Copies of this chain bind each other. A is one copy, B any other.
Amino acid sequence: MTDRPEGHSIGGTPPATIRRRKRPDMIADQIRERIVIEGLKPGDRVPAAWVSPEKLGISRGTCREALKLLEFQGLITSKTGPGGGVFVSSVSERDAIHLLDNLFLSRPPSIADIYALRKALEPELAAGLAGQLSADEMARLQASIRLYEAEPTSAEEEYAQRIAELDFHAELANCSRNKLLGFVCNFLLSLLKDKTECRAIYLEPTPWWMRDTGINYQVRLLRALMAGDGERARKIMHEHMSEAEKFMLERAVLAAAKPKA
């Protein structure tokens, strides 16, 4: 009988505390909570006392498991050696989106699902950008448009242009002063890019009317943004999204109808 003085009952709370959740999970949450409350920033050292098995009244293995969980979540990293220990780390937006992509891999949202969100968010994004763009940002956006201004001469070029078009929207998202909004928009773009269904559509030639109106939208959008007219920008983007959705849905049924072509 390894007589642990108090064993694994943390604060003493004996009264019928039903312990459904696993211990490492609880410990991890506890540590995370402390980090949040104390306001530790990426790069900061997590005090050894917070993660010491003795202080926590748990075994090394359990503690390690908790830390591993936090590490997997990208919240901390640990370094070996003297002066080493546990440090707060920051998750990059790209990594987070990658993990989310994996999440939706098993039950991928439909094109309609994705566009329901894009129709709601991208106009908001556009409106928020009106009169806010720096000269540098504006230049990058205009350069982005130029990439697909020319008539495509090959299927590869066509595909590259379609991707560049998505990148235009990604640029917009990155410019957003509302980082949360920018993140979600980028996530939606990533979903679109990854969908094999969409890839197939992008590989087919785009009809002239879609290309034309597409570029038309972007130019009008930039003009509205430069003029600081948020409402016009919102309206333009909403129309653009509606058109794009209609186009994608039509192509999707076409592609489904003739999978051989």
A residues sitting closer than 8 Å to B (CB atoms) are 32, 35-37, 41-42, 61, 65, 68-69, 72-75, 88, 90-91, 93, 96, 98-100, 102-107, 109, 112-114, 116-117, 120-121, 124, 128, 178-181, 183-184, 191, 194, 196
Contact between chains at B109 and A178 (CB < 8 Å):
yes
Candidates B42, B106, B109; contact of A180 at CB < 8 Å: B109
Contact between chains at B107 and A102 (CB < 8 Å):
no
Contact between chains at A74 and B93 (CB < 8 Å):
no
Interface SS of chain A = helix
How long is the Cα–Cα vector from A112 to B124 in the complex, in angstroms? 13
Complex interface: chain B residues within 8 A of A68 (CB)? 65, 68, 72
Residue of B nearest to A185 (CB): B117
How long is the Cα–Cα vector from A150 to B167 in the complex, in angstroms? 51
Candidates B65, B72, B96, B184; contact of A117 at CB < 8 Å: B184
Residue of B nearest to A29 (CB): B98
In the complex, the count of this chain's copies comes to 2
Contact between chains at B74 and A102 (CB < 8 Å):
yes
Q: Could you list 9 A-B pairs, sorted by A, with CB under 8 Å?
A: A42-B106, A65-B68, A68-B68, A90-B106, A91-B106, A96-B99, A96-B100, A107-B179, A113-B179
Complex interface: chain B residues within 8 A of A102 (CB)? 32, 73-75, 91
Contact between chains at A91 and B103 (CB < 8 Å):
yes
Complex interface: chain B residues within 8 A of A73 (CB)? 72, 98-99, 102
Complex interface: chain B residues within 8 A of A93 (CB)? 103
